[in-house]
A and B are shown apart, each in its own frame.
Chain A
């Protein structure tokens, strides 16, 4: 109950990629669940949130619980928002959905509204769904039941459009014991003032979850697209002094075998010998804390030192 944990329900970037060859690391688009006390806190509603939603159905239908769910958005690219209409708790009138973003409420609402537009869906509006939906613009110093939530704009690429409608944000979750998770998805960790500032933001976090969509070879073509290479992510991890790093936002068509190959190559890289890192695996629960490392249980819980 006291430990801060995180579970990645989706680790795949851009578009869902289910299949036999992505079954280990997972094919769902991003959704991160922060497990703090009994609170339901998630970041982004890529298709990974659907499996979480199905899990929560038991609590709604069998346990008759009124769920209060906090959804934080890093940004509004399709892969990070698209599955909200399919998130089962939204179909129940006794669900409270609190939606948060550092962007103005109207920006958040309008970006999510299109998901429920009648041209694309059988619905009319986010706000006519059964759940009670509230959209909040978050400011610094937000706290939920003792969990501090902070945010910082990231570098999500100059090639994505000169008139980007909104920023993309990193989040940091810190509990009462000062254990912290820093989530830097969709961040391009190239040399910049912003990256320097993010290094400060995530300094000495217990668990760093960092975008690592590209290989160095791919980056030759995709520089400026707003994603990091694994090497850039780990260089950030070194500078931040992160205790453990999860590399996420896998390229949609990168097979499990290919990810393993990159993993192996990174471990041969002397620069990263001192780092504890792994490629984020869907459905694994990672504990964030200062306890001794335990053996992996059959429930796929992984300890972070």
Chain B
């Protein structure tokens, strides 16, 4: 039995609500890994998409274990968390797995969301038993001893993690926020490494990312910009660059992600069209991430 990837929020930077983008959806980043016959839930990031999912689940779930993999702590990836209903039930156990930056641990960030005067609901509402686990990039670990999680530090502010999730032979890789590295060192610690030897660092980053994605069937990749709108220091990438990555890594399906808040559904379609022919030649299926989509993951 394979696991599935459910897209709860596909919009980048911030939630966006416009009539012209209702097709692909306006909720900000959140994913669910749907694992049949298990006694836990697994989510990636808590953008506004997680609040809606939480409303569906309610406080009274039969499954009481929840794991969150956090890519990074930009608002669009965490703002939905306090409104995730299962967090409001004392019988639930919620484990957040996240990197720790020089500035803050994830626990401090999460507590910051509940700051007196900012949280629109009583802080006492968040009654679930919480656990905060620090992840070191590139140190694999397992969720509930079953799901293998591998990470790679992406080129984005702080320590932004790309995730590869593997279970019983099927896998998916998720690269939510990642900018071109050439002359553009955004992640914590990257400038220092590049200072030693720029070319070597850039090569090792690019090769490392390809190896990380090697032969994964489905990859979800940041394609916030087009080549003409690209601003590398904003921390995001484009469809052609995502496709080049997939060609090198031998992936079968590329899911374009992190749609810009100003992108209409037509703009997203245009992004797909811009690389469709090239992708077909390379035998790579290209789709745009759509809220509510469920992808069955393959080997």
Choose one: A23, A77, A166, A282; the contact of B120 (CB below 8 Å). Answer: A77
What residue of chain B has the Cβ atom nearest to residue A78's Cβ? B118
Produce 1/0 per residue, A220-262, CB < 8 A to B: 0000010000000000000000000000000011000000000
Given known contacts A16-B15, A18-B26, A27-B17, is B262 in contact with A54 (CB within 8 Å)? yes
| Chain A residues within 8 Å of chain B by Cβ, number | 46
- Tell me whether A215 is interfacial, beta carbon within 8 Å: no
A237–B184 CA distance with the chains assembled, in angstroms: 57
Asked if residues A161 and B116 are in contact (CB atoms below 8 Å), the reply is yes
Tell whether B122 is near chain A: CB-to-CB under 8 Å: yes
- Which of A43-70 touch B at CB < 8 Å? 47, 50-51, 54
Given A83-B14, A122-B235, A225-B122: A16 touches B26 (CB 8 Å cut-off): yes
Which residues of chain A have C-beta atoms less than 8 A from B18's C-beta?
51
Known: A119-B103, A225-B122. A18 touches B16 (CB 8 A): yes
Contacts of B187 in A (CB 8 A): none
What chain A residues lie within 8 Å of B119 (beta carbons)? 77-78, 160
Question: Which residues of B have CB within 8 Å of A83?
Answer: 14
Contact present for A225 and B118 (CB under 8 Å): no
> Residue B83 at the A interface, CB < 8 A?
yes
Cross-chain contact B123 with A86 (CB below 8 angstroms): no
B102 smallest CB distance to A (angstroms): 10
Contact B74 A121 (CB under 8 A): yes
Is B95 in the interface zone, CB < 8 Å from A? no
Q: When A83-B14, A161-B116, A164-B116 are in contact, do A16 and B27 touch as well, CB less than 8 Å?
A: yes
B117 within 8 A of A: yes
- Is B299 at the interface (CB under 8 A from chain A)? no
Known: A20-B22, A47-B15, A78-B118. A252 touches B83 (CB 8 A): yes
A89 in the interface, Cβ–Cβ < 8 Å?
A: no
Chain A proximity mask over B138-169: 1 for CB below 8 Å, otherwise 0: 00000000000000000001100000000000
- In the complex, the answer to whether B22 meets A122 with C-beta atoms within 8 Å is no
Interface presence of A286 (CB below 8 A): no
Other-chain residue from B51, B55, B103, B118 in contact with A118 (beta carbon distance below 8 A): B103
Nearest CB in chain A: distance from B18 CB, A: 6
For residue B115, which residues in chain A have a CB less than 8 angstroms away from its CB? 114
CB-CB contacts of B57-91 with A at 8 A, as 1s and 0s? 00000000000000001110011101100000000
Contact A23 B55 (CB under 8 A): no
Q: Is B171 an interface residue (CB 8 A)?
A: no
CB distance from B254 to the nearest CB of A (A): 25
**What per-residue 1/0 map shows which CB atoms of A71-108 lie under 8 Å from chain B?**
00001111101110110000000000000000000000
Q: Does B109 contact A (CB under 8 A)?
A: yes
Tell me how many residues of B have a C-beta within 8 Å of chain A.
49
Q: Do B48 and A76 have beta carbons less than 8 Å apart? A: no
Q: Give the shortest distance, in Å, between B71 (CB) and chain A (any CB).
A: 14
Kindly state whether residue B189 has any CB partner on chain A within 8 Å.
no
Residue of A79, A85, A120 ringed by the most chain B CB atoms within 10 A: A120
Whether A114 lies near B112 (C-beta < 8 A) is yes
Whether B101 is near chain A, meaning CB under 8 Å from some CB there, is: yes
State in angstroms the CA–CA spacing of A105 and B22 once bound together.
Answer: 39
Give every chain B residue within 8 A of A26 (Cβ-Cβ). Answer: 17
Contact yes or no, B157 A122, CB < 8 A: yes
CB-CB under 8 A from B239, the residues of chain A are: none
Verify if A284 is at the interface (C-beta below 8 Å from B): no
Contact residues in B for A165 (Cβ distance below 8 Å): 116-117
B241 at the interface (CB under 8 A from A): no
Task: Answer whether residue B104 sits at the interface, using C-beta atoms and an 8 A cutoff.
Answer: yes
* Residues from chain B with Cβ under 8 Å of A2 in the complex: none
**A224–chain B nearest beta-carbon distance, Å:** 9
A 22-37 to B, binary, CB cutoff 8 A, 1 in contact else 0 = 1100111000000000
Query: How many Å from the CB of A246 to the closest CB on chain B?
Result: 19
Task: Check if A19 sits within 8 Å of B22, measured CB to CB.
Answer: yes
A39 on the interface (CB 8 Å rule)? Answer: no
Q: What's the least CB distance linking B296 to chain A, in Å?
A: 24
* Contact in complex: B116, A15 (CB < 8 Å): no
7 contacts between A and B (CB under 8 A): A47-B15, A50-B261, A77-B119, A79-B120, A163-B116, A225-B121, A252-B51
